[in-house]
Amino acid sequence: MEHIVEKLKKQIVAFAPKAHSEKVGTVVSAGDGIAEVEGLDDVMMAEMVSFDTSEGKPLADALEDGGELLGMALNLEEDTAKVVILGDAQKVREGMTVKATGNILSIPVGKELIGRVIDPLGVAQDGGLPIKTEKRNPIERKAYGVIERKSVSTPLHTGIKAIDGMIPIGRGQRELIIGDRQTGKTVIAIDTILNQLNEAKESRPICIYVAIGQKDSKVARIVKQLKDKGAMEYTIVVSASVSAPAALQFLAPFAGAAIGEYFMDQGKDALVIYDDLSKHAIAYRQMSLLMRRPPGREAYPGDIFYLHSRLLERAARLSDKMGGGSLTALPIIETQEGDVSAYIPTNVISITDGQIYLESDLFNKGIRPGINVGISVSRVGSSAQTKAMKKVAGKLRLELAQFRELEAFVQFSSDLDDDTKKRIEKGKLMVEVLKQDKHVPLPFEKQVAMIYVAGADLFNDANKSRVAELEAKFFALLESQYPEALTGIAKTCDLSEETQVLLKSAATALKKANPELFGK
């Protein structure tokens, strides 16, 4: 009997899984950035694995290669695991040894990343020194629950009058920027980063710009703009350009979220821009099809909605008990011919807390930013506005919507009553007031001042073609002769009666000094 028990024990030991530290497998097949590996029986989902590229090579070549290439296990099948190669896939070949690390894929996070351009694995891309940080955050992490959050109430100023006035963004919000190619989506995102220079240093959020599938030249141009303006002091750029493997393009936004969460967990504010999630979805589709996952609608995998929802759900404003930090997300989606009802756009619209819709027709008419006020919305609304902005911009959206209706009606009727004519003229003025050049974000107090005087009918007789010149002179006058008006708004975030009197006086003085800017 004892003999039989010993025999059974030996059989159990023989069939028992190998210890965690001895997880070594072999590449069965490799191609298109995907390696099929056998022998990694207890590998985890999204676990980092290491390909030994030095195997069978002369020592000099092995040292030059670094001897190690990372991959991420994504498809866990009965006999094999499909691994996405994070790097030069041509180095991986059949028969190569693969080791499981026992760690979920993570990236280095910390203040050392500020001012740097990195890839989604945290490797420096700007030619600077290698980045060394004390902490690593997992690429994937469960989002904070409802109990750990608090409602969004602090504004994140973009410096763009039309957005801060009508579609306000709060810290911890997810606001989608959506529109066709070449309508100024990236400009809005970059202007939001530049505008943080107008904020006090202690309340300035750390900005993370994630470039997914963009041209290297575009990313280089954006980095140069940020450096020239001094905005790289609080900005991190994560770049997975169009030439990068699909796996790195897939990881890029998750890397951006992981970096942002590091600052949020420290009680700071962070802003992450995903430019853009349409290309991210395409990269994920490419990976999924190569891994033989079943295609769904438009050949996207069935979990494409879950992919974007678990990414954007990580944006939050934490409760005071959790440190009060926030992570604001500005995802960008590119539409085809203005079709917001396509698969990926509707998915992301339903996940976010509002959208800023940029229209090609408005952009081509010279109305820039070309925001369609009708279908753009912020579901946080005036909760994320200062008292001053609430007072001056409350009726702005309604007035513009009425103007759009009347503008269409005017084409069919030449005989208009005085009230309709006034509304149309006021609408034309407000359209001109809300126009803004790119990369010239305005401090919030200047926005309030301009919207107030325009809304209070003080500039109704202004020459519509010279409103930009009028605005520049108005700000110059305020700064030189009425500085207490701007400082009053900035300090109190409110619009007192004394400040209103000062703004009216400044508008009257401007009219007297520049009569050529008024009248048709």
Task: Note if the pTM is more than 0.85.
Answer: yes
- Total residue length of the chain: 520
The residue among 28, 61, 63, 35 whose CA lies nearest residue 50 is 35
Confidence category of residue 16, pLDDT binned at 50, 70, 90: very low
- Strands 326-334 vs 269-275: parallel, antiparallel or unpaired: parallel
pLDDT the model gives residue 408: 73
Q: Using the Cα atoms of residue 16, residue 20, residue 26 and residue 29 in order, give the sign of their dihedral.
A: positive
Q: Measure the CA–CA gap between 361 and 228, rounded to whole angstroms.
A: 32
Segments of the chain assigned to CATH 2.40.30.20: 1-106
pLDDT the model gives residue 481: 94
Q: Measure the CA–CA gap between 151 and 177, rounded to whole angstroms.
A: 22
Confidence category of residue 9, pLDDT binned at 50, 70, 90: very low
Helix (H, G, I), strand (E, B) or coil at 119: coil
If you average pLDDT over residues 48-58, what whole number do you get?
77
Which of 156-170, 374-388, 418-432 is the most confident on average? 156-170
- Out of 116, 379, 423, 466, the active site residue is 379
Question: How big is the chain by its Cα radius of gyration, in Å?
Answer: 28
Instruction: Report, at the CATH architecture level, how domain 1-106 is classified.
Output: Beta Barrel (2.40)
pLDDT the model gives residue 1: 52
* Residue of higher predicted confidence among 422 and 344: 344
Percent composition of the chain: helix, strand, coil (DSSP 3-state, to 5): 45, 20, 35
In percent, the amount of the chain with pLDDT more than 90 equals 80
The residue among 63, 56, 59 whose CA lies nearest residue 97 is 56
181 is in an annotated binding site: yes
39 is in an annotated binding site: no
Question: Is residue 10 predicted with pLDDT exceeding 60?
Answer: no
88 is in an annotated binding site: no
Query: What DSSP letter does each residue of 184-213 carry, written as one string?
Result: SHHHHHHHHHHHGGGS-GGGPPEEEEEEES
Question: Is residue 351 predicted with pLDDT exceeding 70?
Answer: yes
Helix (H, G, I), strand (E, B) or coil at 514: coil
pLDDT the model gives residue 518: 86
Which residues lie across from 109 on neighbouring strands?
135
* Residue of higher predicted confidence among 399 and 225: 225
When the pLDDT of each residue in the chain is averaged and rounded to a whole number, the result is 90
Least confident stretch, 41-55, 260-274, 350-364? 41-55
Q: Is 293 in the active site? A: no
Q: Measure the CA–CA gap between 331 and 272, rounded to whole angstroms.
A: 8
pLDDT the model gives residue 338: 92
What six digits make up the tokens of 362?
A: 């408005």
183 is in an annotated binding site: yes
pLDDT the model gives residue 163: 96
In percent, the amount of the chain with pLDDT more than 70 equals 92
Confidence category of residue 15, pLDDT binned at 50, 70, 90: very low
Question: Is residue 270 predicted with pLDDT exceeding 60?
Answer: yes
pLDDT the model gives residue 192: 98
Confidence category of residue 422, pLDDT binned at 50, 70, 90: confident
Confidence category of residue 423, pLDDT binned at 50, 70, 90: confident
387 is in an annotated binding site: no
Confidence category of residue 250, pLDDT binned at 50, 70, 90: very high
Confidence category of residue 2, pLDDT binned at 50, 70, 90: low
Question: Is residue 288 predicted with pLDDT exceeding 50?
Answer: yes
Confidence category of residue 284, pLDDT binned at 50, 70, 90: very high
Alpha-carbon dihedral 74, 76, 79, 84, rounded to 10 degrees = 0
pLDDT the model gives residue 476: 95
97 is in an annotated binding site: no
If you average pLDDT over residues 172-196, what whole number do you get?
97
Question: Is residue 409 predicted with pLDDT exceeding 80?
Answer: no
pLDDT the model gives residue 416: 75
Helix (H, G, I), strand (E, B) or coil at 447: helix
Is the previous residue joined to 276 through a cis bond, with omega within 30 degrees of 0? yes
Segments of the chain assigned to CATH 1.20.150.20: 389-517
Segments of the chain assigned to CATH 3.40.50.300: 113-130+149-385
* Residue of higher predicted confidence among 502 and 4: 502
Which residue in the block uniquely carries the two structure tokens 């500020």?
A: 114
182 is in an annotated binding site: yes
473 is in an annotated binding site: no
pLDDT the model gives residue 59: 38
Q: What is the pLDDT of residues 87-144, one digit of tens each?
A: 899 999 999 999 999 999 999 999 999 999 999 999 999 998 999 999 999 999 999 9
Q: What is the pLDDT of residues 473-508, one digit of tens each?
A: 999 999 999 999 999 999 999 999 999 999 999 999
Question: Is residue 443 predicted with pLDDT exceeding 90?
Answer: yes
The H-or-E segment that residue 418 falls in is helix 418-434
Alpha-carbon dihedral 433, 456, 416, 371, rounded to 10 degrees = 30
pLDDT the model gives residue 4: 52
User: Selecting from 1.20.150.20, 1.20.1740.10, 3.40.140.10, 1.10.760.10, what CATH number does the domain 389-517 have?
Assistant: 1.20.150.20
pLDDT the model gives residue 20: 42
Question: Is residue 58 predicted with pLDDT exceeding 50?
Answer: no
Class of domain 113-130+149-385: alpha beta
* Residue of higher predicted confidence among 11 and 303: 303
Q: In sequence order, what E strands does 276-323 have?
A: 316-317
